Amino acid sequence: MKEKGIFAALTLLAGTAIMAHPGIARADDGGGQLSCPVTYSQLKTALVAADTVDSSGFNNHFWAVVVNRAGVVCAVAFSGSDTGSQWLSSRQIAAAKAFTANGLSLDIGSAGTGALSTAQLYQFVQPDNVNVANPLYGLAGGNVLDSEAAYWGDYKSFGTPYDPMIGRRVGGTITFGGGLGLYQGNTVVGGVGLSGDTACADHSVAWRTRSLLGLQQSNPMDKITFATTPGQPNGHPCCPNATSTQGAVNPSVCTPS
């Protein structure tokens, strides 16, 4: 009860500070019509379970951020025992991954590309890569993360139901593994971003988390493809311990670490 009281007080103080701070405002999410596709408890439970069983990467813990279809942060959680159990910088990286995946994913069956993961972007943004049909060098500069909104707030509330990023469109663009669109059937309803380990492990645990949340397409097309030509990459680079990466087209091309 005492802990709930502390969080409630933090939330009240945060709201008061936001009103007094013109640079940090709540995002317009369509008049409240766009709800969060997950609850905090659902995200936390799925994330911890996914982290526990995944064996890729360095065995670090993770931050997970979910945005709704409007790109507004609506849930933040971590998989470790406390706020400091995973890289602090990964909190805002996860937010940017969620924003990127949501912003570049479309409904399945509609005209266009359908689902797009942040891992799939890697090969297209390399400045010297002529081995792509759709070069996107400079993409990361198109939606700059709002650092003031991402870093603001009490550290003790990070990764809780009262995380100060909630209700804000933090933005950002990330072009390596860890961000996935969230789907109800064939309809995209938001995005999830994970960060805290290698980019491949971020993708792997994000894939498991999305599946556990029941927000994965029936025939997902946003898998990570590992590069077989490092000089002019035709995919995402392999990472340490990447052979067990979930949601991967060709994990066997990676050398076991």
Predicted confidence at residue 32, as pLDDT, reads 54
Instruction: Write b or e for each residue in 171-209: b if 16 or more Cβ atoms lie within 10 A of its Cβ, otherwise e.
Output: bbbbbbbbbbbbbeeeebbbbbbbbbbbbbbbbbbbbbb
What tens digit of pLDDT does each residue of 132-143 get? 767 876 677 788
Instruction: Break the chain down into helix, strand, coil percent, rounded to 5.
Output: 35, 10, 55
Domain ranges within the chain, ordered by starting residue: 27-253
32-52 residue pLDDT tens: 557 999 999 999 999 999 999
Q: Which CATH architecture describes the domain 27-253?
A: 2-Layer Sandwich (3.30)
Q: What is the pLDDT of residues 93-129, one digit of tens each?
A: 999 999 999 999 999 987 777 899 999 999 888 887 7
Question: Is pLDDT of 13 > 60?
Answer: no
**Is the separation of the CB atoms in 143 and 103 below 8 Å?**
yes
pLDDT value of residue 40:
98
Instruction: Supply the mean pLDDT for the chain.
Output: 87
Distance from C-alpha of 114 to C-alpha of 107, rounded to nearest angstrom: 6
Cα(114)–Cα(108) distance, integer angstroms? 5
Cβ-based neighbours of 202, under 8 Å, separated by 6 or more: 57, 62, 97, 176, 177, 178, 194, 195, 196
- Compute, in degrees rounded to 10, the torsion defined by CA atoms 214, 217, 222, 228: 90
